[in-house]
Amino acid sequence: MKSYRYVARSKSIAARALGDVTMVMSATDSKLFTLDEIASVIWQAADGVTPLNEIVANKICTQYDIAPEAALKDAEAIVEDLAGHGILLLSDQPLAEQGNSRGGTL
Amino acid sequence: MPGVTAVAQSCSAVVEIGGLPIRLRCDDPAFVRQIQDRYAGYLSSSNNAKFDFEIELAPPGTESGDEDVHVAWDSGRWLMQRGDFRAEWNPSTARGRIQQTNSPYSLDSVLRIVHTLLLARQGGFLLHASSAIRNGRAFLFSGVSGAGKTTIARLAPPDAALLTDEISYVTREEGAYLAVGTPFFGELARVGENLRAPIEVLYLLAKGPQNKIEPMEGAEAVRGLLGNILFFARDPDFVKMAFDTAFDFVSRVPVRRLTFVPDASVWELIV
């Protein structure tokens, strides 16, 4: 059985896109993160209901010349890193309420 | 024997920074005199203080070793705490209480916190920066400890009015950002002049072999600014306000990197 991973932006952040990058500030410790172009694509698509592999297939592999397996592996590393900092929620279940209740971005 | 009338001393002082008069009351007249000395140049005779704080001096030896500031919103009031003070402030009643050691530096810290909270709602902030007014325009020099804030302030020519060598006060009025003098000083130990002017440039400081100015834009400028804004409240709404303000500031005020050698020649570039 195939497992899916879902990602949603935390509520306790402020974020804004600036060109190809996205700046995210954690409200819990005021740490500032600058997401590169690929991480920004994942961030923008992290609606809590779209599985990560779909985000990779539809938003990354269609825009960048990268093999799907390698892209998914990179994406998983990115979301785990961001989740470790508490600015992204990661689950094997949809996260619609958490991800959309307040939007999370400015 | 002629009658003696005891005149009750009004044990308070009104300290007005950035146009926000705060009345500080204390039963100890000697401490009020300390406040008056410490904040000379920022005392207001106004009876219309917008905020009122009652100060209670803690007995010596009651402070703890906790050097971290904790600020939290709880049941309609701000709670502020560090080893040498414990304070609360209710914005809706505009009243607060401070329990602190007999040191104006403790009060200084509480005032910095209160002003960050007040400024955030108005689109302003306190910044780790020295600042000065020259030719009617304000210049900010920001950086972490050791970056050269006090050095730049110390090297300022006579025609520059020093606003602070440590903590700059930035307000937003009618879409423009202004720098305002503060009594918050660093190594220079000199109270800033109580003046204000539109901000011309924010310089992020770096020391180097020669004086040069380089533009900073986009994420780099925002990162540089946010890295030096004073944050006390770990509150999502306040973090978002500061974040929003930083982007707005960078869209309106040029941000540049100023690399300098520590001599007066650097001020030839600040015009």
pLDDT tens track for B197-249 = 999 999 999 999 999 999 999 999 999 999 999 988 777 788 889 999 999 99
Q: Give A87→chain B minimum CA distance, Å.
A: 12
Q: Is A19 on the interface with B (CB under 8 A)?
A: yes
What distance in Å separates the CA atoms of residue A24 and residue A26, rounded to the nearest whole number?
7
Is the residue at B190 inside a domain?
A: yes
Entry pTM: 0.87
Q: Is A28 in Cβ contact with B247 (below 8 Å)?
A: no
Taking an 8 Å cut-off on Cβ atoms, the answer to whether A27 and B231 are in contact is no
Q: Do B227 and A27 touch (CB under 8 A)?
A: no
CA distances from B151 to A6, B143, B179, B251 (A): 51, 12, 19, 28
Instruction: State whether B156 and B218 are in the same domain.
Output: yes
A3-35 residue pLDDT tens: 799 999 998 899 999 989 999 999 888 889 999
Paired tokens of B86: 């414990």
Same domain, residue pair B223 and B203:
yes
The arithmetic mean of pLDDT across residues A43-57, rounded, is 96
Per-residue pLDDT at B59: 86
A6 close to A50: Cβ distance less than 8 angstroms: yes
The pLDDT of residue A3: 75
Q: Do A27 and B247 touch (CB under 8 A)?
A: no
**Residue B111 forms part of a structural domain:** yes
Verify whether the Cβ–Cβ distance A32 to B223 is below 8 Å.
yes
* A58: DSSP letter: I
pLDDT of residue B98: 98
What residue of A is the nearest CA neighbor of B243? A14
- A14 close to B (CB below 8 A): yes
Instruction: Copy the structure tokens of residue B60.
Output: 């010596």
Last residue of a domain, one of B100, B121, B142: B121
Give the gap in angstroms from C-alpha B263 to the nearest C-alpha of chain A. Answer: 33
Residues of B with Cβ-Cβ distance to A32 under 8 angstroms: 223, 226-227
For A70-103, write each residue's pLDDT tens digit.
Answer: 999 999 999 999 999 999 999 999 996 444 333 3
The domain total for chain B is: 2
pLDDT at residue A2, rounded to an integer: 63
Does residue B102 form part of some domain?
yes
Looking at the structure, do residues B198 and B240 belong to the same domain, yes or no?
yes
> Is B175 inside a domain boundary?
yes
Pair B129, B72 in one domain: no
Judgement on whether residues B164 and B249 belong to the same structural domain of the protein = yes
* CB B9, CB B27: distance < 8 Å: no
Pair (B131, B218) in one structural domain: yes
Asked, for residue B136, whether it belongs to a domain, the answer is yes
Where is the domain boundary, B121, B146, B176?
A: B121
Please report, for residues B13, B57, B148, B185, B239, the alpha-carbon distance to residue B152 in angstroms, rounded to integers and kept in the order given: 32, 36, 6, 14, 30
The reply to whether residue B239 touches residue A30, judged by beta carbons under 8 angstroms, is yes
Q: Which of residues 170-229 of B touch A (CB under 8 A)?
A: 218-219, 222-223, 226-227
Contacts of A16 in chain B (CB under 8 A): 243, 247
Q: Give domain status of residue B6, yes or no.
A: no
Query: Is A29 in CB contact (< 8 Å) with chain B?
Result: yes
Q: What is the pLDDT, as a whole number, of residue B238?
A: 85
Q: Does one domain contain both B154 and B264?
A: yes
What is the pLDDT, as a whole number, of residue A96? Answer: 65
Model pLDDT, residue A100: 38
By C-alpha distance, the chain A residue nearest B234 is A28
Same domain, B24 and B95: yes
Boundaries of domain holding B181: 125-268
- Tell me the CATH number at B212: 3.40.50
Q: Does one domain contain both B211 and B100?
A: no
Report the residue from B223, B231, B244 with minimal CB separation from A106: B244
- Shortest distance, CA B6 to any CA of chain A (angstroms): 53
Mean pLDDT over A58-77 rounds to 95
State the pLDDT at residue B7: 39
Contact A32 B234 (CB under 8 A): no
pLDDT recorded at residue B63 = 75
Residues facing residue B21 across a β-bridge: B16
Residue of A nearest to B244 (CA): A106
B100 is a domain residue: yes
**What are the boundaries of each domain within chain A?**
6-87
Which DSSP symbol is given to B229? B
Best CA proximity match to A27, nearest among B113, B240, B77: B240
Does some domain include residue B43? Answer: yes
Report CA B25 to chain centroid distance, whole Å: 20
Q: Residues B113, B154: one domain?
A: no
Whether chain A has a CB inside 8 Å of the CB on B73: the answer is: no
Helices within B39-184 (DSSP H only): 104-122, 149-154
Same domain assignment for residues B97 and B137:
no
The confidence score (pLDDT) of residue B2 equals 41
Q: Tell me the shortest Cα–Cα distance from A3 to chain B, in angstroms.
A: 33
Same domain, B257 and B242: yes
Class of domain A6-87: alpha beta
Ranges of residues in chain B with a pLDDT under 50 are 1-9
Radius of gyration of chain A (CA): 13
State how far residue B133 is from chain A, nearest Cα, in angstroms.
30
Query: Cα(first)–Cα(last) distance of chain A, in Å?
Result: 38
